[in-house]
Amino acid sequence: MIGAPVFIDRIGKAYGTQTAVGGVTLDIAAGEFLSILGPSGSGKTTLLTMIAGFESPSAGRIVIGGRDVTAVSPDRRNIGMVFQRYALFPHLTVAENIAFPLKMRGVRKDLRADRVGRALDLVQLPQYAKRYPHELSGGQQQRVAVARAIVFEPPVLLMDEPLGALDKKLRESMQIEIKQLQRRLGATVVYVTHDQEEALTMSDRIAVMAKGQLAQLGTPANLYCNPQSAFVADFIGKMNFLTGEFLGETADSRTIRLGDDVVIDTPGAAHGFEGSAKAGDRVRLALRPERLGLTARGAGGKNALPGRIETSVFAGAFDLHLVRADFGSGEIIQVQIPADGNRTAFAMGTLVDVIAERDGLRLFAVAEA
């Protein structure tokens, strides 16, 4: 199987006066794993449903493998689908469920058995062919749904929160399985999720959606390290935000003040919000918890944020310290310190400096939230 490129060209969908998707353009390469990530109601399912052909767009067009399919019915788009609402047929066995798309396509019975067998091997359920869906666990049912979606070797696979109903451990192993399967098949995958960790681990690129619009498109590392808006910075990974006052900038540096007298130096305009701020503007400073350090008060040097320990908790791979800022409105700053076996214990109330690694800081305008 070879994947097909998918071109979504200024696609929009309105329900009455409400815009579910507003003019989204995405150029997805053949064989790419692209996730559509966003909060509930951001238009992910609507977008995927339009690619599948179950909903017709109010504007724009969809091109798959060079063919404009905007007006083509779903069964003629040659797309594999794993949708929540597209469940297994309860009265058919696992093998019959998987054979269904082949039957629809007029594949001969003797060839069908062979392909069903291979699909079952791929999702690692070879011994379950004769069972009925209700005799399987949730995870096994999802794997059958994946087998049914890939059995006719579609060049494009669409998945809408396929792992949403599974517990964490099973979800993580299924994430790896789906990713390996996709690599083996070479299919183009468009994968919808509201789970940012899932999107980060599985995707070649992620399209972040907010209110029916594309908020940012990029590789997982790109979105994580260089979010272009406070929304994306907040949605992907953990983030502290502190509000301050813009003091000024040079080509590679922007300086802000928090509270009355805490001056922080951040990287220049290439990082964080585009456009400009002028002295006196309110700005939001974004700090990743894992890019912060802790020292005794007064030992922090440059870019030190004075605070006091509110709580410290052991979180396995790291210690999580909640530090109450001793400036501004006294917000809580989360600090993650990797656990290395030599825990630095901080008693509650200890006066500390949070050290903000300059390269890990990003600035955003206050208006956009």
Applying CB under 5 A, which part among 42-50, 87-95, 148-156, 218-226 lies near Mg ion? 42-50
Q: With CB cut-offs between 5 and 8 Å by kind, which of Mg ion, ligand ADP, none does residue 43 bind?
A: ligand ADP
Least distance from Mg ion to the Cβ atom of residue 14, Å: 17
Q: With CB cut-offs between 5 and 8 Å by kind, which of ligand ADP, Mg ion, none does residue 15 bind?
A: ligand ADP
* Site residues (CB under 6 A) for ligand ADP, limited to 14-53: 15, 18, 20, 38, 40-46
Least distance from Mg ion to the Cβ atom of residue 44, Å: 5
Encoded tokens for 303: 């870019």
Asked whether the beta carbons of 128 and 94 are under 8 A apart, the reply is yes
Determine whether 107 is exposed, middle or buried from the number of CB atoms within 10 Å of its CB (0-12, 13-18, 19+).
middle
Least distance from ligand ADP to the Cβ atom of residue 194, Å: 7
**Residue 46 binding Mg ion, by CB under 5 A:** no
The nearer residue to ligand ADP, 55 or 353, going by C-beta atoms, is: 55
The nearer residue to ligand ADP, 37 or 283, going by C-beta atoms, is: 37
* Site residues (CB under 6 A) for ligand ADP, limited to 46-105: 46
Least distance from Mg ion to the Cβ atom of residue 50, Å: 13
The nearer residue to Mg ion, 45 or 312, going by C-beta atoms, is: 45
Encoded tokens for 29: 């390469």
The nearer residue to ligand ADP, 40 or 73, going by C-beta atoms, is: 40
Quick note: the x/- pattern for ligand ADP over 210-249, rule CB under 6 A, is: ----------------------------------------
**Residue 49 binding Mg ion, by CB under 5 A:** no
Least distance from ligand ADP to the Cβ atom of residue 235, Å: 13
By CB under 6 A, the count of residues binding ligand ADP is 11
Residue ranges in contact with Mg ion by CB under 5 A: 45
Residue ranges in contact with ligand ADP by CB under 6 A: 15, 18, 20, 38, 40-46
